[in-house]
A and B are shown apart, each in its own frame.
Chain A
Amino acid sequence: METLKEFFSFQDPSIIAVTVGAILLSSSSAVVGTFTFLKKKALVGDAVAHSVLPGICLAFILSGTKNPIYLIIGAFVTGWLSLVIIDHISKKSKLKEDTAIALILSVFFGIGILMLTNIQHSGNAAQTGLDSFLFGKAAALVGNDLIVFGIVAVVLIATVIFFFKELKLMAFDQDYAEAIGLPVKGLELLLTSLTVLAVVTGIQAVGVVLMAAMLITPAAAARFWTNDTRVMTLLAAILGGFSGLSGAFVSYAAPAMPTGPWIVMIISAIALISFFVAPKRGIISRGMEQRKLQRMIMDENLLKELFHLGEKDHDLYKGRSIEEIIEERYFPEKTLRKSLNRLRRQGFLTKTNGDWRYTEAGKMKGQRVVKLHRLWELYLSEKMKIAPDHVHEDAETIEHIITPELEERLEKMFDRRATDPHDEQIPY
């Protein structure tokens, strides 16, 4: 707690620098990553991250200094080149995109490692610190570097805001964007350049391997909370920025800890939690929705079978034992008992001496399912010309989904016909 207070009092000016840097780097790559995510090109960021290494080494060999401007230019060139080659391979040869990405990222990285080790063994004193591109050095970003990368981050965010509408269209419907006269090629170029720039700056914070997370993970997390691209981009930026801030804090509280991996750990934790608990799209919410649906289908099927039993002995309200129901149609006994009790609680069934019988409401509900089933069979065989012995399966599914509006239309369509294609009574 004490450390937390100390950290946020920002008494040490270098803390401000590091914190601002980490937030800017993380949120700018999150913003750009949102669009690569939406274009389903998330792993392209990973490829670029690995491919900038030879560029950085080449820039160093040619210029002999670690001036960030030169290094950014070098990184930009090879990062960009890698995307062009990936695109070419996956479009012009029989190799698939995933192979092209894995191939280019590992080969470029291998070349980069060869150059880097060559530089390191050459004894040039200026090279120390070049490997910070490999692992990131968010906590050590100071002075000139920070200013340069800060500016790039701001430029990235501003460009995305400025071209937001165009980028969004591109991400969702490229053909449409082309049809209404947007310069699709130019925009594609823009997004590629933004990705490369985001990678080049983000690598400073987390290093080559984890850079992919800075682009993908905030966007993936944000996607689970909203369907609105604008909100999603903003949320991704906030989540990215928050993880950057937390990373800076961790490196302040425990200097031995690597900042980059902590930033990634925090944003990943946020993403994992989102995958599970987000309303509607989350795994838990989806699972609950699915269970609710399964229960509804089970309940309706049970009421339907009770109706079938009643039809046979012309006594819809007769009490039925569990064995009798299972004989009519097999249900696992545990599921059946649960469903029976649920229906009793809801007032559709009553239980006397171990026998289950309809209430008025239960009969109505069971009758409706049977009616919908038979009406649909009628519809399939008469209107769709499907043989009567092929219509049951389909009706078995649709009977649970038909809305009251559709029900009314079906009834009208057949003028309340008395029997279905199997000559069974349609109960109205």
Chain B
Amino acid sequence: MSAFYIILTASLFAISCGLLGSFLILRKMAMVGDAISHAVLPGIVIAFLLTGTRDSFEMILGAALLGIFSTFLIEYFHNKARLQTDAAIGVTFTWLFALGVILISVFAGQVDLDQECVLYGEIAYVPIDLWITDSGAIMGPRALYIAALTLVVNVLFLRIGFKQLYLTTFDPSFAATVGISVSLWNYLLMGAVSMTTVSAFDSVGAILVVALLVAPPATAYLLTEKFSHMLIITCIIAVVISIAGYFLAVWLDGSIAGAIVTVAGILFAITYLFAPNTGLITKRLASA
């Protein structure tokens, strides 16, 4: 049963990340996603200090604000100080991450967080951490509920804002002429990325969220030209890597999150080499 819980939780998070990541990589903002996943750390710590729990609405809010703030900082340095984008990203996220780590050490006694957990989480604890209602009924793993809720919120967000996100991604100047605020939807998307990162960080760690954001959509992108197909393939890959990753981790006795990412990497490599039409080796064979 616990294997099932772990795989289900991982799949739900991977689908959330993959859907958002599809937009990120097409907007050439994959590294901004990377930056956000690091930059939310101080928000998590501060929210933890204020509320004393790990999974609260405040924590998600705190992190979402930090994520949007870091997006704003990156653009501010780029526009106002004319700092090149790559450097603006690099400076911003490392600064906020360092702040987060320092906060953790300052309040070491009060914060039940450590650096390992931030980096690669521990999804193996999912089945142990149960949600027990006030009346004592055991409702199942808490992380599972969080993962499901995150997915629902993300799907709703993408469903409602699909047209706007689609247009601002593929044709920002057209979007602007028909009255869609490009920067508003950019910030909304980044807010969703931050929220997802925070919900997932307990299980997969803030850093490995990046792999879930990027690897499945990048693989899907190589397989299709159509955006709707890309989203569907991304979801399938998300489930496949969660299942395969779990069993790889059991076999090697290692981190489950690390194993999921490893499988995602292998899947990408296979696609990169053998995808129909675009694969490196496929192309070579076709021309030979």
Contact = CB atoms under 8 A, between A and B. Distances in A.
A426 interface: no
A103 B218 contact: yes
A281 interface: yes
A103 B84 contact: no
A246 B83 CA distance: 26
B91 A271 contact: yes
B111 interface: no
Contact of B28 (A42, A96, A219): A96
Interface in A240-260: 256-258, 260
A370 interface: no
Nearest to B97: A209
B265 A210 contact: no
Contacts of A110: 208, 211, 257-262, 264-265
Contact of B254 (A103, A121, A256): A121
A386 B162 CA distance: 44
In this complex, the interface size class of chain A, counting residues with CB under 8 Å from chain B, is 35 or more
Contact of A103 (B30, B86, B120): B30
Interface residues of B, number: 62
Contact of A216 (B90, B211, B252): B90
B255 interface: yes
Q: Is the interface of A mostly helix, strand, loop or mixed?
A: helix
Contacts, number: 213
Given A98-B28, A99-B25, A265-B99, A256 B90 contact: no
B214 A103 contact: yes
A93 B278 contact: yes
B134 interface: no
Interface in A72-123: 89, 92-96, 98-99, 101-103, 105-118, 121-122
Interface string B120-136: 10000000000000000
B89 to A, nearest CB: 6
B132 to A, nearest CB: 29
Given A98-B28, A99-B30, A258-B101, A281 B255 contact: no
Interface stretch (B31-39, B151-159, B194-202): B31-39
A106 B81 contact: no
A286 B80 contact: yes
B44 interface: no
Given A40-B86, A43-B89, A113 B257 contact: yes
A40 B84 contact: yes
A220 B254 contact: no
B214 A42 contact: no
A103 B268 contact: yes
B94 A95 contact: no
Given A117-B254, A212-B94, A102 B210 contact: yes
B82 interface: yes
A216 B254 contact: no
B221 A94 contact: yes
B77 interface: yes
A141 interface: no
A261 B31 contact: no
Contact of B98 (A89, A261, A283): A261
B105 interface: yes
B149 interface: no
Nearest to B82: A281
Contacts of A212: 90, 93-94
A236 interface: no
B94 A268 contact: yes
A307 interface: no
Contact of A264 (B28, B95, B213): B95
A261 B42 CA distance: 13
A209 B254 contact: no
Contact of A114 (B94, B105, B254, B268): B254
Given A43-B90, A117-B253, A213-B90, 10 more contacts: A89-B272, A93-B278, A94-B222, A102-B213, A106-B214, A109-B261, A110-B258, A116-B258, A210-B97, A220-B91
Interface of B: 25, 28-31, 33-34, 38, 77, 80-84, 86-87, 89-91, 93-95, 97-99, 101-102, 105-106, 108, 115-116, 119-120, 207-208, 210-211, 213-215, 218, 221-222, 248-249, 252-255, 257-262, 264-265, 268, 272, 278, 280
24 contacts: A95-B221, A98-B28, A98-B30, A101-B31, A102-B210, A103-B214, A110-B257, A112-B258, A116-B254, A117-B253, A117-B258, A118-B252, A135-B115, A208-B119, A209-B38, A210-B98, A212-B93, A220-B90, A257-B106, A261-B98, A261-B102, A268-B94, A271-B91, A275-B81
A-B pairs, top 9 by smallest CB distance, nearest first, are A110-B261, A213-B94, A107-B265, A114-B258, A113-B258, A106-B211, A268-B95, A216-B90, A102-B30
